[in-house]
Structure 1
Amino acid sequence: MESITKKAFREKYLDVVFVGRFLETLKETFDKLLLLTKSIDIISSEELQEPRLAPHIISAITTEPVEDGIYHPAQDILKSAIEDQPQETFNWIKRLLSDECNSSVVASVIKCLGRLNPRLCEGWLTDIIRTGLQHSDVEVRDSTVQAIENWEIKEAIPLLREHHEDVPWLKEYIQGVIEDIEALRSQDHDVRSQEDF
């Protein structure tokens, strides 16, 4: 009888040891998950949230291509996204520009952005231009230059001048846009000077 008791005791002891080790492992796993969750919270901050209307913008663009000079429904959706959630929209566009896989979608978003009033995105326009000009896909760079041409903003001239374009037709187009913006700015200056007299 004594041996059964010792055997039962050992089994119970082993069960307790096993449960103890299991609980320690569980606690370690929980601690690791807690750390992981904290880092996920940091990653999923405002910087990585996409605007509420982002899926609608992408859907509109993938449903109907954005063509030069033709109104596209994504323009209004993008405008609403910028008005409702400017920072999230900016971060989303920046992430799109860093994505090398969906170049035609990115180019379309930039084309639509270029058709909007530049005052909507004054605080971050330079970042978008700089990132767009550095994109590896010529279609995205071209869309960025088209947007600059539409906006006619003199702040883009230094960025265009600093950009070293390898594609000959785009290089020529960039030079033409620089000249056009400079000509418009000098006309504005001449008109203001005449008004002073």
Structure 2
Amino acid sequence: MDRPLRTIQQQDIDSLDSEARRFRRQLVAALEEDPIEDGVSHPAERLIEQAFCDDADRARGWLSDALSAISPVRPGTAASLLRCIGRIDYAQTGAWGLGVAADALRHGDPEVRDAAIRALESWGGNDCLVMLRGHHDPEAWLRSYVEQVTLDLSAATP
């Protein structure tokens, strides 16, 4: 006997929204509590890793929503989140990660753009190289950084 397909109820939607809000609150709290340091694992990374393990597509959506919500009002926190995203393996981020980085490269805050450049550098590969070659940052120090990363990626990319 066939069972009817379960329809999504409002309480299911509310539950998902509640999970997303809880994730965002925990993520922002972790990012604002401890600074991101090079070479040091951050508590926010564990939250992100768990979200990816549970449901990678949902995690990408939650992270996109979190960035959209916090980047206009807390660019430093958004930069920290981008640095965590940049530490995720490119196989997990793929085209979504490139889109996040592209948006961040257009952000008004240089710290956010720096985090995007770091993510692209971390992921490497031709797609990241092409994106960096097309980026002309208004800040001299970031232009210099992009040039160096572009040279490094060019040498490493066949």
Indicate the TM-score class for this superposition, using the shorter chain for normalisation: 0.7 to 0.9
- How many residue pairs get aligned? The number is 145
Q: Can you list the C-alpha shifts for 1:152-171, whole angstroms capped at 9, x where unaligned?
A: 23211221122221000001
Deviation at 1:182, TM superposition (A): 1.2
Whether 1:134 aligns to 2:106 is yes
Identity %: 28
Larger radius of gyration: 1
Counterpart CA distance in 1 for 2:29 and 2:91 is: 25
Question: What is the Cα-based RMSD across aligned positions, in Å?
Answer: 2.7
Whether 1:89 aligns to 2:59 is yes
Alignment match, 2:89: 117
Alignment match, 1:3: none
Q: Which runs of 5+ in 2 are unaligned?
A: 1-13
Q: Can you list the C-alpha shifts for 1:45-67, whole angstroms capped at 9, x where unaligned?
A: x89x8375332222211111112
Q: Which runs of 5+ in 1 are unaligned?
A: 1-43, 187-197
Counterpart CA distance in 2 for 1:92 and 1:62 is: 18
Alignment match, 1:179: 151
Counterpart CA distance in 2 for 1:86 and 1:140 is: 23
Report if aligned partners of 2:121, 2:128 keep a CA contact under 8 Å in 1: no
CA spacing shift, 1:96–1:133, aligned 2, 3 Å: farther
Matches within 5 A, 1:45-124: 50=20, 53-98=23-68, 99-124=71-96
The match for 1:167 among 139, 149, 157 is 139
Deviation at 1:113, TM superposition (A): 1.2
Q: Return the letter of the residue paired with 1:162.
A: G
Normalised TM-score (structure 2): 0.78
